Amino acid sequence: MTLPPDVGTAKSALRARHLARRRKRPAPERAAAAAAATRALLTGLAGARTIAAFCPDEMEPGHGRLPAAYTQLGARVLLPVVPADEGELRWAVDTGRLAPGRYGLLEPVGPRLGPTAIGAADVVVVPALAVGRDGSRLGRGGGYYDRALRHARPDAVLVAVVFDDELVDALPVEAHDLRVTAVVTPSGGWQELGAVTGGAHWENGCPRTPGETESHA
């Protein structure tokens, strides 16, 4: 796609457009999308031992089903805690008890872990307003996940969850933007983003880096 000189302005305009579309999405469509996206995530995450995820708000796919559905995986689940100081995300283990935190976002009740706790995750489930087929991701503009993902393992699978019409060919990106390696949509399920280089994907319960093949005894 051809981008205007001011990439930041282009991203802001896209954020406004996608947020407006999400606000207009009918409740039955949101509910159906939540069910489908959750099924796809549970299938794709099978075998993961530690997952860093998030609590979808009412406009995000998965709201009402996630993170509770992750208990079916038997994995350790980390959820983000937005700090009061505008710094990096903290993390806490999901024990099923959630309470409103900053911006009204639900977060776990329990001990807080530091920003580097995300480094224990095999898979990071990332929020997004849109995702490009090249792995580009449009967030809400706070930069929390751009900072957090720098602590993720190099071989961690980074998967974003969006509505069907939010998976696009490409998005405007800046130097600090990190790409995801997979995306989940309600209709398309779990899709690897093949244009991404240097990332990993999830295969048979194991993360695989590009060019790596599974050995058979």
105-136 pLDDT per residue, tens = 889 998 999 999 999 999 999 999 999 999 99
Distances (CA, A) of 10 to 13, 134, 165: 5, 18, 18
Token output for 191: 């899709």
* Distance separating alpha carbons of residues 202 and 65, to the nearest angstrom: 22
173-199 pLDDT per residue, tens = 888 888 999 999 999 999 999 644 334
Per the listing, tokens 């319960």 go with 205
Residues 151 and 115: beta-carbon distance below 8 Å: yes
Rg (CA), the chain: 16
Does CATH number 3.40.50.10420 belong to domain 7-74+118-207? yes
State which H helix or E strand residue 16 sits in.
helix 7-24
Would you kindly state where each structural domain of the chain is located, as residue ranges?
7-74+118-207
- The pLDDT of residue 213 is above 60: no
CB atoms inside a 10 Å sphere around CB 178? 19
